[in-house]
Amino acid sequence: MSAPEKLGKYELRGTLGRGAMGIVYDGWDPLIDRRVAIKTVRLVDADDEETAEALARFKREAQAAGRLTHPNIVGVYDYGEVNDIAFIVMEFASGKSLKTLLDEQKRLPPRDAVRIMEQVLAGLAYSHARGVVHRDIKPGNIIIVEGGQVKIADFGIARIESSSMTSVGTVMGTPAYMPPEQFLGEPVDARSDLYAAGVMTFQLLSGQRPYEGSMTTIMQKVLNTETPPPVSARGDVPSAFDAVVARAMARAPADRFATADEFASALRAALAQSARTPAAALPDEDDDATVVVSAKRPPAAAAAPLAPKPAATPAREAPRTVAPAAKRGGPMPLVLAGVAVLAVAGAGGAFMFLRGGSPPKPASTTPTPAPASANPTPAPTTSAPTPPVAKPSPPPPDPAIVAPAVASAAAAASCTLLTTSVSADGVQVGGFAGRGEAETAALSSVAAASSGLAVAWHAGTLDSKWCDLLDVLRPAATAGTIQLALSGGKTVLHDRDPIWPDVTAPAFPNWLVVTYLTRDDRSAPGHDLFAVQLFPNLKARGHAYAPGEVVPIRSTDTIGPPFGTDLIVAVASSGALFTKVQAPQTFATYLSSLRAALNGAAQRNEKVAVGIMTVETQEGK
C-alpha cells in the first residue's frame, strides 16, 4: 500500500520510523508553516483485543500529553482520525534519545547526570501537578535536543487521574525501571515515576542499571530487596549519591521522595557535597567512560538540601531465576521524532551540552594556621572508631511454609493452569498461562508469595481464546495433574497423521476422558473452535484405570486442515464424568457440558486431575 501524501491538513514529507502498529512521518503544518512529527496507528475492529488496546494507549498518549505544555515535555498539538488511520501531531524534537547516547558512551560525570535529571524531574513535577503519571520513565523515552534541552516523550501508558482507561491489575511498563507496585498490578502514583527516575539516575552515574537480567530475575530483586546496591559500588561515583538513589528506589512508596522537586533538591545537595571532597575521590573526566554523553498533590516548593542518609545494609539478594519460556508481546515501540534523520546534528548538540562548563574546583585541603596564643589549648584526643558489627544474614525462607502460599497464588491466577513445587533451591512453575497480561499477573502473584525464593518460570503460553477452558479446569484440578505426550515422541503432527497421545493416569483409580480441540473452517469466525472426544469413543468403552498406569489412546481420528496449534485435554476422575460418549461438538457446547460434569464431580466429592498439551499441526510430511 502506497504511503498517503496528507493526513487531514498535514502534509507528509517523509518517514521517520516504523513500529509494530504504525509509522511516524516527517510532517508539515501548512497553515502555520511548522514542521511536525506525526505518529500513526491503524484503526482496528473492536473484536481485536490486542490492537484495540494499542489504539487505546495511543489515544491515551494524546490525552495525557495534550494537557502538558512544558519545555521538558514533547508537545502534542493535535489528534485526528482519517479513514482507517488515527494520528497524533507532535512537536518535531530534533535530537537523540538518552538511551542512544548511553549506548555510545556508557556513563556521565555527576554534574551532567544531575543536569539531565533536574530537567527530567522538572517535567515530571509539572506532569504530576496536572494529574498525569507517566509510568514508563527510562532513557529511551528521554530526548536530548539541539542546545542540550531535555524532553520527556511517549505518554502512551500514562495514568490520568479520574480516567478509567488504566485499571488496577494491569501490568505495563519496562521491567528494569518498574517499581514493586507496578509489577504487582497495584495502583501507581507520582512516586512510581520517581522510582524509575532513581533507576535512571543510577544508570547515568554508573553506566549500569541496578538490576539486570530476565524479567523474572529483575522482578525477584525488585520485590524482595529493600534497597538497591550503592551507586558508588558500580564505578568511581561519589558516595554522596548512594543515599539519594536508595531513597528514590525505596521498596515502599511512602519511603521515597514525596515530589519530583524534593528529589531534584537532594541531587543538587549530593553534587555540592561531592564537590567538597578531595579531588582524588572524584571521577577522572578525561577517562573514556565519562566522555559520553501524585499525581494528587502539586509539587512542593524547593526543599532544603537533603543530607544523604547512611547507606543501608544491602538485603540478601534473591537467587538467579530462569527466564520465562515463552516470549511476551508488548506495546508499539517508541519511535523518536526526528531521531532517524537528525541523529548527527542531535549528537553534536547533546555532546556540547554534556561537556560544557568547567568542573567545580574542589575545596582546598591545606589547613589554615591557627593564630598564636599565649596559653595554647592542647588538642583533644580522639579514640579510634569502633568497627561496625556485621548484621547476621536473615535465615532463608522455609519451603514448607512458602509452598502453600505459592500454591494458593497459582490457583487464584485467572487464565492459567499452573503446577508449582517449592524447595530450598527456589520455586518451579509449570503448566500453562494465557498470553500477555494473564501470564505477567500470574508470575507477579507467585513471585509475591515466594518470600524471597527465586521463581523459575517454565509455564507455556496459550492464546487468550483458551482462557475460558483454563478457568473451568483450574478449580476442578484438586487431585493433581496428568502427564500427556504424543506417541513415538513426536512433537508435530502432519496432514492425515493419527492422533495418538499417551496419558499417564494420576495417583488414584480413575476414569479418563480425552478430548481434541481444534479449529473448524465450516464455522463462523469467532465460533470456529471444535471438540472431538478421542477417548472413550464408540469402539473403546471407558473403564477405571490403575494409579500411574500409562494409557495409550489410539483413536481413529486424524489430522486435517486448518493447521496450526491445537490442544489435547485429559480429565481423570474417581467416578465417570459422562454417562455416554460425547459427539463432536462446538467448543461452547463442550465447555458447557464439561463445566456441568466437573461441578457434579465436586458435589459428589470425587477426585479430579487434569492435564493439557499443545499440538502443532502442519500440512505435508
Which three cell numbers mark 618? 502442519
The average pLDDT across 571-590 equals: 87
Domain boundary among 42, 66, 91: 91
In terms of domains, do 500 and 586 share one?
A: yes
pLDDT number for residue 484: 93
- CATH number of the domain at 488, please: 2.60.40.1930
Higher local confidence (pLDDT), 477 or 147: 477
The pLDDT of residue 207 is above 70:
yes
CA 566, CA 516: separation in Å to the nearest integer? Answer: 8
With a CB cutoff of 8 Å and minimum separation 6, the contacts of 311 are: 227, 230, 239, 242, 243, 246
The average pLDDT across 18-44 equals: 80
The pLDDT of residue 316 is above 90:
no
The pLDDT of residue 352 is above 90:
no
- CATH number of the domain at 72, please: 3.30.200.20
Which H helix or E strand runs over 611?
strand 608-618
In terms of domains, do 276 and 403 share one?
A: no
Domain boundary among 91, 111, 131: 91
Give a yes or no: residue 361 inside a domain: no
The pLDDT of residue 230 is above 70:
yes
8 Å CB contact between 241 and 465? no
pLDDT number for residue 232: 82
In terms of domains, do 304 and 208 share one?
A: yes
The average pLDDT across 146-174 equals: 60
Mean pLDDT rounded to a whole number for the chain: 75
8 Å CB contact between 466 and 434? yes
Residue 320: phi and psi, rounded to 5, are: -65, 150
With cut-offs at 50, 70 and 90, classify the pLDDT of residue 137. very high
No. of H helices and E strands in the chain? 13, 24
pLDDT number for residue 284: 35
Q: What is the pLDDT of residues 262-303, one digit of tens each?
A: 999 999 999 998 876 543 333 333 322 222 223 333 333 333
In terms of domains, do 235 and 193 share one?
A: yes
In terms of domains, do 22 and 129 share one?
A: no
pLDDT number for residue 326: 35
The pLDDT of residue 124 is above 80:
yes
Residue 341 CB neighbours (<10 A) = 15
Q: Is the dihedral of CA 504, 508, 510, 513 positive or negative?
A: negative
Give a yes or no: residue 373 inside a domain: no
Give a yes or no: residue 357 inside a domain: no
pLDDT number for residue 295: 32
In terms of domains, do 404 and 480 share one?
A: no
The pLDDT of residue 531 is above 80:
yes
pLDDT number for residue 520: 67
- CATH number of the domain at 135, please: 1.10.510.10
Q: Work out the burial of residue 204: count CB atoms within 10 Å of its CB; fewer than 13 is exposed, 13-18 middle, 19 or more buried.
A: buried
Give a yes or no: residue 320 inside a domain: yes
With cut-offs at 50, 70 and 90, classify the pLDDT of residue 560. confident
Domain boundary among 39, 64, 91: 91
With cut-offs at 50, 70 and 90, classify the pLDDT of residue 20. low
Higher local confidence (pLDDT), 55 or 559: 559
Sheet holding 550-552, edge to edge: 483-486, 501-504, 550-552
With cut-offs at 50, 70 and 90, classify the pLDDT of residue 106. confident
In terms of domains, do 109 and 63 share one?
A: no
Q: What is the pLDDT of residues 354-376, one digit of tens each?
A: 334 434 444 444 444 444 444 44
The domain total for the chain is 4
pLDDT number for residue 134: 86
The pLDDT of residue 503 is above 80:
yes
DSSP symbol at 579 = S
Give a yes or no: residue 372 inside a domain: no
The average pLDDT across 163-170 equals: 39
With a CB cutoff of 8 Å and minimum separation 6, the contacts of 57 are: 156, 157, 331, 332
Cross-strand bridge partners of residue 41: 86
Residue 86: phi and psi, rounded to 5, are: -100, 145
- CATH number of the domain at 437, please: 3.30.1340
With cut-offs at 50, 70 and 90, classify the pLDDT of residue 254. very high
8 Å CB contact between 484 and 611? yes
The average pLDDT across 300-319 equals: 36
Higher local confidence (pLDDT), 526 or 586: 586
Q: What is the pLDDT of residues 53-96, one digit of tens each?
A: 666 666 766 666 666 778 898 888 888 888 778 888 888 887 88
In terms of domains, do 478 and 543 share one?
A: yes
Q: Which of the residue ranges 40-49, 293-302, 572-581, 601-610 would you say has the lowest mean pLDDT?
A: 293-302
Q: Which of the residue ranges 31-45, 313-327, 487-501 would you say has the lowest mean pLDDT?
A: 313-327
8 Å CB contact between 99 and 203? no
pLDDT number for residue 313: 34
pLDDT number for residue 234: 73
Give a yes or no: residue 385 inside a domain: no
Share above pLDDT 90 across residues of the chain, in percent, rounded to a whole number: 25
The pLDDT of residue 308 is above 60:
no
Find the DSSP H helices in 416-504: 437-449, 467-476
Q: Of these residues, 26, 136, 242, 261, which one is catalytic?
A: 136
Share above pLDDT 70 across residues of the chain, in percent, rounded to a whole number: 70
Secondary structure of residue 568 in the 3-state scheme: strand
CA 389, CA 367: separation in Å to the nearest integer? Answer: 33
With a CB cutoff of 8 Å and minimum separation 6, the contacts of 214 are: 321, 322, 323, 324
Kindly report whether the peptide bond that precedes residue 536 is cis, defined as omega within 30 degrees of 0: yes
CA 319, CA 467: separation in Å to the nearest integer? Answer: 32
Secondary structure of residue 113 in the 3-state scheme: helix
In terms of domains, do 191 and 148 share one?
A: yes
In terms of domains, do 73 and 126 share one?
A: no
With a CB cutoff of 8 Å and minimum separation 6, the contacts of 238 are: 110, 232, 270, 273, 274, 277, 281, 282, 283
With cut-offs at 50, 70 and 90, classify the pLDDT of residue 502. very high
CA 577, CA 145: separation in Å to the nearest integer? Answer: 67
Amino acid at 27: G
In terms of domains, do 332 and 479 share one?
A: no
Give a yes or no: residue 192 inside a domain: yes
Give a yes or no: residue 107 inside a domain: yes
Could you tell me how far CA 441 lies from the centroid of its own chain?
10
With cut-offs at 50, 70 and 90, classify the pLDDT of residue 146. confident
pLDDT number for residue 121: 96
Q: Which of 65-74, 219-228, 388-397, 506-515 has the highest mean pLDDT?
A: 506-515
The average pLDDT across 461-465 equals: 87
Using the CB atoms, write b or e for 216-241: b if 16+ within 10 Å.
Answer: bbbbbbbbbbebbbbbbebbebbbbb
8 Å CB contact between 299 and 125? yes
In terms of domains, do 131 and 252 share one?
A: yes
The pLDDT of residue 463 is above 90:
no
Catalytic, 136? Answer yes
**Residue ranges making up the domain that contains 408:** 398-462
Q: Work out the burial of residue 482: count CB atoms within 10 Å of its CB; fewer than 13 is exposed, 13-18 middle, 19 or more buried.
A: buried
